[in-house]
Amino acid sequence: MTSMDIRTKNLKKPVDVAEYLFTRLHQIGIRSVHGLPGDFNLVALDYLPKAGLKWVGNCNELNAAYAADGYARVKGVGAIITTFGVGELSAVNGIAGAYSEHVPIVHIVGCPSTISQRSGLLLHHTLGNGDFNAFANMSAPISCAVAKLVDPAEIAVQIDHALRECWLRSRPVYVMFPTDMVEKKVEGARLDTPIDLNEPANDPDREDYVVDVILKYLHAAQKPVLLVDACAIRHRVLDEVHDLIDKTQLPVFVTPMGKSAINETHPSFGGVYAGSASTPEVKEMVEGSDLVISIGALKSDFNTAGFSYRLSQLTSVDLHSDHCTVRYSEYPGVHMKGVLRKIIERLDMNQLKVIPAPKFHELETKADPGAVIKQEWFWSRVDKFLREDDIVVTETGTANFGIWETRFPANVTALNQTLWGSIGWAVGACQGAALATQDIEGIDKARRTILFEGDGSLQLTVQEVSTMIRHQLNVILFVICNDGYTIERFIHGMDAAYNDVATWRYKDLPAVFGASDGATKSYAVHTRGELDALLADDDFNNRAGLRFVELYMPREDAPKSLMLTAEASAKRNAMTE
């Protein structure tokens, strides 16, 4: 007679662990899962369809991690499944970038059975030393939670905790999923209650104190401004920020990483502040302010044009997801969301002084049709091409810097990786972002996803173009063909061979990656006249599927902001003390 596991017998609604995990992913908003199959995750993958999840199937794990990152930035949270050792380690760079930039990704790793682990078997994909925790230990510093699913009695709680941490802290989590746990039973009745993803409320007394202090300085300020950065996006306070702007009409600026956080058609929007790389009007207003309320700041070197901010702590209020700082006083554990909401409610408009935001001066983009396409002209021309609701992805390099002064229409979503800066990220992120909008709106109503990619960066992750084609994603891909790694050239080695890349026939790539006739279309533009004609073409703007553009620019041309930041980077790299 077979003995019955009393733990299983007492479950009200027993479900397999894989079904539980994937149902929870669906409940928090995920509809597509990136990754690659491997023998330690194959049985788990069979459970995806039942949970309403689509398997993407990427070309390699690094690209899959980049794609999950882009998906999360549009959908709210992403997921990737890899296999033990060889698969997960290939994804680590992408997961580290998501951790760095506060992007929530659930990384599920199929691993050897608990029996194999206890026995210390010499299995493939291991280091050969019997240590089955080595890779989880590597991922722990780039994960806000690690869940090792080895005990069925604890697994459901572990999953719920990890997913909640992923959402609330907006950072990756690592889930180690042994093969013999996939079909173990857990309590399915828990699935009837969604995971509570609401941010815990601040302590009321501490929150009130911080709000009172901020209002004291805000009411007294003569020239207050708002500065919005990436963590305002990642930690979901944009509704509060826009409510504050609408009520006060205070001039508001964004950092490069905060691009698209603010509706750039709003009359209070003043532009991009990046220290010495800002326009003179923006620099003068922000640095001349007697109170800068900074929301979700990430003051990295590239986000500040080489640490060139000229802002005094004595005139600064910094609001973050886990603390607030007013001048030199820090208030740990006081989250910005509740603080912003109370500032909006309690602000006395009769005491507020408001100065108008600087006017946007549009650069002249008419030129000789036969002229070459220069960076400054191009990024000013792009804003006439963009539409409301576009998703704009820019790669580390000229695109990340050039887009600073492109004025967006309403409801544009911009994706960049300014802090981590892994070249090639944008191709995978574009695929993930385009799939996210397809999951939200459907294939016929998906937003346009527009990628500006360097030729050198493209060569790192170009395989994901095939995934775009495979899933019929609505993507316009501009490859900036300027013979190599431009940002590196301006840091060091303008003519060095190590900054060169092989010349590809880029516009032939869709055919190489299996695009059928008519499903994609490729273009090459060398002059301003050719670009103007393409950007005005109705078929180019409105056709479905991938549009792939070779965009030729001079080799030694770059946005001024890139030149300034690269110069500062080169000086720091040369410091000896």
> Among the options 482, 532, 545, 550, which is catalytic?
482
Beta bridge partners of 323: 332
> Among the options 455, 464, 532, 550, which is catalytic?
455
The candidate with the shortest Cα–Cα distance to 22, out of 153, 138, 188, is 188
Q: How far apart are CA 577 and CA 575, in angstroms?
A: 6
Q: Is 188 a catalytic residue?
A: no
The candidate with the shortest Cα–Cα distance to 480, out of 371, 363, 375, 364, is 375
Q: Is 34 a catalytic residue?
A: no
> Among the options 46, 52, 120, 124, which is catalytic?
124
> Among the options 87, 296, 338, 421, which is catalytic?
421
Q: Is 124 a catalytic residue?
A: yes
- Burial label for 199, CB within 10 Å (0-12, 13-18, 19+), is middle
- Enumerate residues 6+ apart whose C-beta is below 8 A from 174: 107, 109, 136, 139, 140, 143, 145, 146, 147
Q: Is 455 a catalytic residue?
A: yes
Q: Is 482 a catalytic residue?
A: yes
> Among the options 484, 499, 532, 545, which is catalytic?
484
Q: Please state, in angstroms and as integers, the Cα–Cα distance from residue 41 to each residue in 113, 123, 422, following that order.
A: 11, 15, 27
Q: Is 518 a catalytic residue?
A: no
> Among the options 16, 19, 34, 61, which is catalytic?
61
- Enumerate residues 6+ apart whose C-beta is below 8 A from 349: 247, 248
Strand order in the sheet with 145-148: 54-55, 32-35, 78-83, 105-111, 173-178, 145-148
> Among the options 5, 39, 131, 183, which is catalytic?
39
Q: How far apart are CA 319 and CA 309, in angstroms?
A: 17
Q: Is 488 a catalytic residue?
A: yes
> Among the options 26, 125, 161, 242, which is catalytic?
125
Task: Name the residues annotated as catalytic.
Answer: 39, 61, 124-125, 421, 455, 482, 484, 488
